[in-house]
Chains A and B, each alone.
Chain A
Amino acid sequence: MEYILIKTLEAMATFILAFLVGMTYGGVVRKITGRVHNRLGPPWYQNFIDAFKLFSKTRGIHHGAMHFLGAAFLMVTSVVSLMIIPVLAPGGHAWYNSWFTNMNFNGDLIFLLYIMTFGPLGMAMGAGQTGNPNSSIGVTRGLSQMVGFEIPWVMALVALMISYKTTSVIDFMNIQRETGTWLMFANPFAFIAAVLAMLGMFRYSPFDIVGAPTELASGPVSENGGKFLFTMMSSGSVFTFAKLVLYVDLFMGGANNLVMLVVKTFLLYMIPVLYGIVSPRYRTEQAVRWFWGWPTFIGLLAILYAVMF
């Protein structure tokens, strides 16, 4: 009983950490974008104010049960994937380390691959319910883009699985701790393919085709305001943090304490952000074609590398 209670408390601690870090990253990204734009930009805590304002809207229009499911699926996806991913590396000696070893198990990488495609499907259901044509078009684009970047991403993970004969994130972190080399150096092709897939995963420009404002007024979320938008915003930031942590765990040997975690995730996060600031938006078929070009080829190289050596 106490065990379950403690586990729950640890899970809540993980969630709160993910929420805070994710929202702060959002604000910092807006600040950086503003600086690139020759302007001051909003304060770093702007996203918290926005979220609270959205939460305290007094009226929220909904379009039936499926509309609720859209937001709910996103939240479930982000929370579950956060719960699966071990936030901190096992070998750490910080006093809070035991809080963030979550309910990971053998084969959780397969489960992650499944659960990370779960949210867009729920989003599709919710957007279809709203009856807004922009939403449905945006959902179509989102799914096709997901098909695009899933292939190099899966290839990179498969390469890792082949070369280390395991499908557990914890095992990967242990391997990196024992051998002492990060996987981004052990299998560089897999890392490159995964990073190229990450560009599409975070939906910054040039791959922000889902919610392109000038094309289809913010796409699937165009009918969601108030608390719906708050749910999507917070789940999105949690999901961002979860994905970053997964990358750090797989390729950068995890992190022993929170400071290292924040540093590593932020450095990774800057890749899509800074690339997005200076690039226009791809069209849908162009984006898919791009993903099936070099990233897929590099993924193949990664698999060959894993098979041969």
Chain B
Amino acid sequence: MREKATTIYLGPQHPGITGNMMVRLKVMGDTIVSAQTEVGYLHRAFEKLQERRNWLNSFTLMCRFCVPETDPMENLYARAVESLDNIEIPERAKYIRVMVLELARIATQLMWYAGQNGSLGLYTMGQWSIGDRDYILDLFEQLTGGRVYHMYQWPGGVRRDLPKGFKDKVLNTLDYLEKRLKDYDDLMFANSIFQKRTQGVGYVPKESIIEHGVVGPVLRGAGIRSDIRIDEPYEVYDKLDFEIPTQEGSDIWARALVRRAEVRQSIRIIRQVLDQMPKGEFNTKIPNPMKWRVPAGDTYVRAESGRGEVGYYAVSDGSIHPRRMHLRGAAYVHAITLLENILPGQNIADVSAIMNSLGTCAPEIER
């Protein structure tokens, strides 16, 4: 049976692939018999380069880990260094960080709207949501100076305070987004063809959740209420009031509903943050970065990104260079073993949709 199967190389040059990776499919007709991922097209060896940078220079490498969602990585690095060096950051910095993280989450989910619908052939959705994502990037640009790469949440707080009138801008953008989300629902979730394409497709069985380390929207789409923001609250998430949406079904449709609800929760969180944000300092002074020696030790911090749990293991040996930095990405476990596990038996038309709904992010896998 395997002998008659034809091999199809999906990627690296393929419009349906999220990021620069390859999936080698053996198909019989339209049904996939076996799948084998091949990654490594984006390997830049960050963790090797950080052995040659000092503690502040390696911070600028951080946001390059996962391009669609850069802020959780910066947050991880800042918190790792702070916990190694026992830096206490002011309250206002924590609130600003939470606001930036949630804005980044909204931007990521809008990017996901585009990818999911583009993989299903509904290109109008992609045009709309990426056009609206740019308004969030404008907020980032005014706040940090960069559209995609921010380098904003550095060890010791954030790099600069909120500009004048920034709060009103954020609120206007959120109001606009809430209006647009209704249109998205009408175009996407109320669409019978979209439901036909997604319901029951890309099913992640319950028994493979533990052994594959499934996290994030995929886990919540399987009906398990797990989120790093409530499991071990990291900035001021324990003072905020928000829900963790879950769905039964564990297919693309369930994950889509989870992400749809997460955007609304993020908007709610940002509103609370802007209300409760205290006055005061936004940064604690860090020692001179040229000769900043972080005391020896190791730590592991985790954060919840739009694709799930991202963790960061940092080791310092008391020198001006980091000893070892190791990122744990959500896509690192989703896009390789889990994808190879659930692809056989699926239709070849659904591969890119499944990859999008698993939150595949190729640069995060290879780092």
Q: Direct contact between A and B in the complex (CB less than 8 angstroms)?
A: yes
Chain A residues at the B interface, C-beta cutoff of 8 Å: 36-39, 133-134, 137, 140, 205-206, 208-209, 212-217, 277-284, 286
**B122 CB contact (under 8 Å) in A209, A213, A280, A284:** A280
In the complex, the chain B residue whose C-beta lies closest to that of A39 is B127
In the complex, the chain B residue whose C-beta lies closest to that of A144 is B30
Flag if A214 contacts B15 (CB, 8 Å): yes
Q: Tell me how far the C-beta of A258 lies from the nearest C-beta in chain B, rounded to whole angstroms.
A: 33
Q: With A205-B121, A280-B193 given, name 4 new contacts (CB 8 A).
A: A133-B8, A137-B348, A213-B16, A280-B121
Flag if A215 contacts B348 (CB, 8 Å): yes
Flag if B197 contacts A281 (CB, 8 Å): yes
In the complex, the chain A residue whose C-beta lies closest to that of B17 is A214
Q: Tell me how far the C-beta of B108 lies from the nearest C-beta in chain A, rounded to whole angstroms.
A: 20
Q: Tell me how far the C-beta of B190 lies from the nearest C-beta in chain A, rounded to whole angstroms.
A: 11
Q: Which residues of A contact B118 (CB under 8 A)?
A: 214
Q: Which residues of A contact B7 (CB under 8 A)?
A: 133
* Cα–Cα distance between A39 and B127 once the two chains are bound (Å): 9
Flag if A216 contacts B127 (CB, 8 Å): no
* Cα–Cα distance between A83 and B339 once the two chains are bound (Å): 52
Interface residues of B in 44-102 (CB under 8 A from A): none
Looking at chain A's contact residues, the main secondary structure is loop
In the complex, the chain A residue whose C-beta lies closest to that of B198 is A280
In the complex, the chain B residue whose C-beta lies closest to that of A212 is B121
Verify if B313 is at the interface (C-beta below 8 Å from A).
no
* Cα–Cα distance between A16 and B135 once the two chains are bound (Å): 46
Flag if B193 contacts A279 (CB, 8 Å): yes
**B14 CB contact (under 8 Å) in A217, A283, A286:** A217
**A212 CB contact (under 8 Å) in B191, B193, B349:** B349
Flag if A277 contacts B349 (CB, 8 Å): no
In the complex, the chain A residue whose C-beta lies closest to that of B127 is A37
Q: Which residues of A contact B348 (CB under 8 A)?
A: 137, 215-216
Interface residues of B in 320-367 (CB under 8 A from A): 347-352
Given contacts A37-B127, A206-B121, contact A279 B191 (CB under 8 A): yes
In the complex, the chain B residue whose C-beta lies closest to that of A281 is B121
In the complex, the chain B residue whose C-beta lies closest to that of A37 is B127
Flag if A282 contacts B193 (CB, 8 Å): yes
Q: Which residues of A contact B122 (CB under 8 A)?
A: 205, 278-281
- 7 tightest A-B CB contacts, nearest first: A281-B121, A214-B16, A37-B127, A280-B122, A280-B120, A213-B15, A280-B121
Q: Tell me how far the C-beta of B138 lies from the nearest C-beta in chain A, rounded to whole angstroms.
A: 16
Verify if B187 is at the interface (C-beta below 8 Å from A).
yes
In the complex, the chain A residue whose C-beta lies closest to that of B201 is A283
Given contacts A39-B127, A206-B121, A281-B121, contact A215 B349 (CB under 8 A): yes
Verify if B131 is at the interface (C-beta below 8 Å from A).
yes
**B194 CB contact (under 8 Å) in A134, A209, A277, A280:** A280
Q: Which residues of A contact B197 (CB under 8 A)?
A: 280-283, 286
Interface residues of B in 169-193 (CB under 8 A from A): 187, 191, 193
